[in-house]
Amino acid sequence: MAIKPTRRTRLADAAMGTAPPKEKQALVGADSVWALSNKDPRWLLKLLDDELERGQQLWEKPRRYFRGSGSGEPCSRALTLEAMGHRVPFEARVLRIFRVGNSIEDVIVKNMAGAGVLESTQDEVKFFGDPPLLGHVDCVVKRPGTGERVLGEIKSIKQELFKALPKEHGPVIAGESPLTKGYYLKYLKQWNTYAWSPTIDIEIGFLLFEAKNEHQQKIYWLLRDPDMLESVLEIRRDAAPYVEGDPMRVAPIPAGFDPNDMSRGNACGWCERRYLCKKLPKGGATYDEARAADAKLRG
C-alpha cells in the first residue's frame, strides 16, 4: 500500500496523481502575474531597481566639513560641491555593487571579531578644524599576544582591479607603496588620513583587498606618511573657507584644472560634477546659484 507523502514534491504529486493542471484559469487573467510575466519577465527586477534608485537625492543637506573617505579627491571645487550636498545618482546596478561591497566588508570585520583580533570598528576620524574633516575607520585590530594596535581599511574591488594589484608587501611608508600608482592611491590617502587623525593616532596598519567575484584577498602593510597627509590637508584647507563661510560657496576652479578637458586620466576627465562645474563661474558661486544652475540642467 502506498504511504501518502507528508511533503509535496513533483515526484510525490506524480505518484499520487495530484499534479496541478498546467494552466489554472484564475492565474491567466489579463491583469494576472501570469500575463504580466509573459509580457515582461523583468517586471519584478525593474520594480526593485526603481526602489533602489528612488532613494537617492540630487541634493542632500549641506555639511560644514569634508569626508575622510573622500581623502583621494584632488579638487577643492569638487570638495565644496560635495560638502554642499550635490549628489550624482547611481544606476541600480552600481548600487547593487556597492551593496555587495559593504556586505563583504562587514563579513570580514565579523571574521576579525570571531578570530579575537578586533579591538573596535567604526571609530570616529576627526580633525578639529583646519580643515574640518570627519570619517569612520573600518577596524582597529589588536595583535594577539602583544596587544599592538593596527589600523585597517578593507576594500572590496572588481576582479579586474584585483588582478592588477601589485605584489603584497610588509610595512612601507604609505607614499612609497606600489599602490600609489593609479587607482589605489585614493585608498592609501584615506588610510593615511585616518591613521593621523588625533582621535585614531596609529602608526601602522594595512589595506586589505578582496575581489568581488572570486574572493581572493591581498594585504598591504603601511606606515603613516606625513607628506601624504599634508598633500591631502592642504587641498582641504584651501576649500574650507568656502564650506565654513556664510553663504557656502563653490570654490574657484583650481590652477591646472580644466572642466572642458574630457580626457581620462586627469581629475576633470573622471569628475562626475563636470557637467555642473562647467556651467558655474570659474571664480566660484554661492550655494543658491549652484542649486539654480543645477535645477536648469537636471530639473
Q: Name the site residues for ligand SF4 (rule: CB under 6 A).
A: 75, 77-78, 253, 257, 259, 267-268, 271, 273-274, 277
Contact predicate 79/251, CB 8 Å: yes
In angstroms, what is the minimal distance from the CB of 268 to ligand SF4? 3
**Least Å from the CB of residue 59 to ligand SF4:** 16
Nearer to ligand SF4, 200 or 268 (CB): 268
- Give the nearest distance from C-beta 257 to ligand SF4 in angstroms: 4
CA atoms of 234 and 108, how far apart (whole Å): 33
CA nearest neighbour of 18 among 36, 2, 40, 35: 2
CB atoms within 10 A of CB 14: 10
Nearer to ligand SF4, 141 or 277 (CB): 277
CB of residue 271 to ligand SF4, shortest distance in Å: 3
- Measure the CA–CA gap between 256 and 80, rounded to whole angstroms: 17
DSSP letters, 25-49, are GGG-STTSHHHHHHH-TTHHHHHHH
What's CA 168's distance to the chain center, in Å?
A: 23
Cα–Cα distance, 187 to 70 (Å, whole number): 9
Q: Which is nearer to ligand SF4, 78 or 108 (CB)?
A: 78
The least distance separating ligand SF4 from the CB of residue 264, rounded to whole angstroms, comes to 13
**With respect to ligand SF4, which residue has the nearer C-beta, 154 or 253?**
253
* CA proximity to 63, closest of 243, 292, 290, 246: 243
Q: How far is CA 203 from CA 82, 133, 190, 191, 264, in A?
A: 29, 19, 14, 11, 34
* Complex with ligand SF4: residue 92 or 267, whichever CB lies closer: 267
Residue 81 near residue 290 (C-beta atoms within 8 A): yes
Strand bridging mode 169-173 / 217-223: parallel
Nearer to ligand SF4, 226 or 283 (CB): 283
Output the smallest distance, CB 251 to ligand SF4, in A: 9
